[in-house]
């Protein structure tokens, strides 16, 4: 029978040294305390003061949800800065979608660019409506909505080149069939 070797007991200081060498995830409250100012500086660099405070809060709410799955070896500060940057971009994007205040609201709705509206371009809309389906869609999506041909191809089906060709054919037909639509 083989003799059993017993490990010698380690001293308390040696055990503490081992624990210090290991990375133990700190409580989330400590993370907020340690990195809160850095995150706020990132938010304030990109946003107005009141928006920065909201982005800071959103950053830590999002981080609190993901913190348990964060690896212990992760760079917490870089992770938080990335979240803050993305939250700031979200705020900037949402601001672009908000209505802009005006001094006076017009009484009648605008009819510019609306098919069947009584304006001088009524004939143009009839000419566009007379185009074959794919040409009409390609012309509308590219020249009215401003979409690139790659996106148009995804919407109406086919390749980017086919969408470009449909739009070119549509414009060619409009030049032939719309009065005053001659070569430009």
Task: Kindly report, residue by residue over 73-115, the tens digit of the pLDDT.
Answer: 889 999 999 999 999 999 988 888 888 888 887 777 666 555 5
120: Cβ–Cβ under 8 A, 6 or more apart, which residues? none
- How far apart are the C-alpha atoms of 41 and 148, rounded to whole Å? 37
| 107-140: pLDDT as tens digits | 776 665 555 555 555 677 778 888 888 898 898 8
pTM, to two decimals: 0.46
| 12-63: pLDDT as tens digits | 665 566 555 555 678 999 999 999 999 998 888 888 888 999 999 999 999 9
Tell me if residue 141 falls in helix, strand or coil.
helix
Q: ∠42-94-143 over CA atoms, to 5°?
A: 125
């Amino acid at each position: 029978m083989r003799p059993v070797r017993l490990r010698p007991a380690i001293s308390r200081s040696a055990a503490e040294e081992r624990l210090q060498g290991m990375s133990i995830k700190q409580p989330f409250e400590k993370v907020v305390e340690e990195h809160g100012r850095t995150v706020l500086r990132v938010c304030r660099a990109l946003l107005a003061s009141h928006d920065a405070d909201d982005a800071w809060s959103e950053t830590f709410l999002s981080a609190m949800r993901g913190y348990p799955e964060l690896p212990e070896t992760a760079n917490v500060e870089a992770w938080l800065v990335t979240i803050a940057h993305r939250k700031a971009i979200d705020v900037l994007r949402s601001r672009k979608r908000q209505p802009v205040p005006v001094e006076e609201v017009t009484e009648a709705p605008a009819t510019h660019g609306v098919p069947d509206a009584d304006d001088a371009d009524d004939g143009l809309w009839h000419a566009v409506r007379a185009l074959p389906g794919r040409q009409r869609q390609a012309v509308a999506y590219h020249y009215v909505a401003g979409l690139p041909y790659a996106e148009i191809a995804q919407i109406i089906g086919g390749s980017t080149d086919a969408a470009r060709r449909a739009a070119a054919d549509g414009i060619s037909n409009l030049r032939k069939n719309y009065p005053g639509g001659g070569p430009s």
